[in-house]
Structure 1
């Protein structure tokens, strides 16, 4: 919980961490008012490793670093590669809807939604292509220019060219 002794708003955080496959990376342009935003569907893994189960979570990408990483993953996802990532999602909620087409037309449905806040690592087809640096690894002697050049987003290419 974040609190303050001033008149700032108080709130509770609900964070979910796990690993899952990235799917349906897209830029969403809201109808009417609102800024476009990145979205991704995550097939989160849970259960026994012998009988893995998936929960699908549709996420708005809200972290700046997360957005850069998701954009870099889009080509691999679109090419059908298996992109697995460690993630932190905030404020998961269920969204009720009615199917508009297909065999389930007219039936009620529900989907999980959330806000993708952080990506801790990414593997493309089993090869690690990104790992977040621990917060403690920042060298206080580096200038801002050096820190930007050595940021974890630019350290490792997302996937190798064939």
Structure 2
């Protein structure tokens, strides 16, 4: 755990091949996203590749801090990693429960009416983790090193 805190770019670079592999396994699985009265039909692999690119950018941010000998704040880094893990768990659970037609399987957890609320909370945790990462990145970049 101490290595992840001191070198968080390794954690985020490690997530890239995981999401690429998930995208390859779920290549032709559609994902229906409806926002109000607009329906989007996307494939799961698209979201997995976008997620891998996102984690690549986060990893590059942390690596750039490491290259200029400015290290992120431990508390903010721990908070960022925990929030990322918490927002990824429902996302990954939903992906693994999809069948070939893009429908969630009949699971007691996914049939729960609160599952969409759980995904909404995960989305807000994702937004908060982005803000925490930006605060961590810019405070580490602006502060002087000893």
TM-score normalised according to structure 1 size: 0.22
Between Structure 1 and Structure 2, the one with more helix by share is 2
> Which structure would you say has the larger RCO, counting Cα contacts within 8 Å and 6 or more residues apart?
2
Bigger Rg, which one:
1
Give TM-score, length-normalised by structure 2. 0.23
By percentage of residues, which structure has more strand? 1
